[in-house]
Amino acid sequence: MDILSKIISKKIDELNQLKKTISISDLENSKFFERNNKSIVNALIDNELSIIAEHKRKSPSRSEINSQTPTEKIINGYQEAGAVALSILTEKNFFNGSNNDILNARKITELPILRKDFIIDEFQVIESKSIGADGILLIAACLDNKQIIKLSELAKSLGLEVLIEIHDLSELNDCCIDSVDIIGVNNRNLKTFNVDIETSISLSSKIPSNYAKISESGISNSNDIITLKNFGYDGFLIGENFMKSVDPGRALANFLNEIKNDC
């Protein structure tokens, strides 16, 4: 069984248990159901250099990344450094994330927040709204076209934006629908966890212009950013490159300065 299959199998078990203790009405009673969401798309297109900075404690490809820096320091640092939005991993078994990471971030920032998880069920979409997320990640590799439509349309009905993550052309063809806002090309193969930014380069011209377009994973230097901007990417989702530092906000600030100096 590959890594993605293991994650999804564990997620199904987790959701079956969660639904026994928390109801949809419980989620809908959250104060965040009255909140006007921030637009991740606008944040991407309104800024010349758009970094979605990620809060990620652990990864199957790297194991422990950063378990010590408090969420508050990470979020404040990212905001001060110039991130246009935040991506927060809430998957607990393989990434050591938690819904509390979004809840704690929401207390201290108005930056748009993308909930990054392995979303396969409508319960998780409603849950995302209930914890203060502004958008959700859907991963094409673990969803079929009908699931993508169902989950993304529910998200849109709740005022959440939808980022669909793809790895190849066949996945792209399944997700070019009206209820998707952003198409993200993940340079990391979720079955092998190998990384290659050529994935973003090869798919760039195939993504329709009516979607915001971002590149994810394996972006570690200014040359990568400059190259991918030349291929039309509106923004970049970067986590591990910052989170491996004890001060992720400072790492982001240094990265942005490096890019500006090289442009």
> Tens digit of pLDDT per residue, the chain (263 long)?
688 889 999 999 999 999 999 999 999 999 999 999 999 999 999 998 999 999 999 988 777 898 899 999 999 999 999 999 999 999 999 999 999 999 999 999 999 999 999 999 999 999 999 999 999 999 999 999 999 999 999 999 999 999 999 999 999 988 999 999 999 999 987 777 778 899 999 999 999 999 999 999 888 888 999 999 999 999 999 988 999 999 999 999 999 999 988 76
Do residues 118 and 12 make contact, with C-beta atoms less than 8 angstroms apart?
A: no
> Distance (Å, rounded) from C-alpha 161 to C-alpha 45?
14
Q: β-strands 235-238, 51-55: how paired?
A: parallel
Answer yes or no: pTM beyond 0.85: yes
Catalytic residue check, 19: no
**Count of structural domains within the chain:** 1
Catalytic residue check, 161: no
Copy the structure tokens of residue 127.
């849950």
- Domain hosting residue 64, numbered range: 3-262
Q: β-strands 161-166, 135-139: how paired?
A: parallel
Following DSSP, what letter does each residue of 184-220 receive, concatenated? EEESB-TTT--B-THHHHHHGGGS-TTSEEEEESS--
Do residues 42 and 218 make contact, with C-beta atoms less than 8 angstroms apart?
A: no
Which of 50, 59, 96, 186 is catalytic? The answer is: 186
Copy the structure tokens of residue 207.
């993504």
Amino acid at 15: L
Q: How many residues does the chain have?
A: 263
Judged on CB neighbours under 10 Å (0-12, 13-18, 19+), 168 is middle
The pLDDT of residue 39: 97
Catalytic residue check, 186: yes
First to last CA, the chain: 44
> Distance (Å, rounded) from C-alpha 131 to C-alpha 102?
7
Catalytic residue check, 165: yes
**CATH code of the domain in which 45 resides:** 3.20.20.70
Angle at 260 (CA atoms; ends 50, 52), nearest 5 degrees: 20
> Distance (Å, rounded) from C-alpha 97 to C-alpha 86?
14
The pLDDT of residue 1: 61
Which of 104, 216, 229, 241 is catalytic? The answer is: 216
Catalytic residue check, 116: yes
Which of 58, 116, 213, 229 is catalytic? The answer is: 116
The greatest distance separating any two alpha carbons of the chain, rounded to the nearest whole angstrom, comes to 54
Catalytic residue check, 217: yes
The pLDDT of residue 157: 97
Catalytic residue check, 216: yes
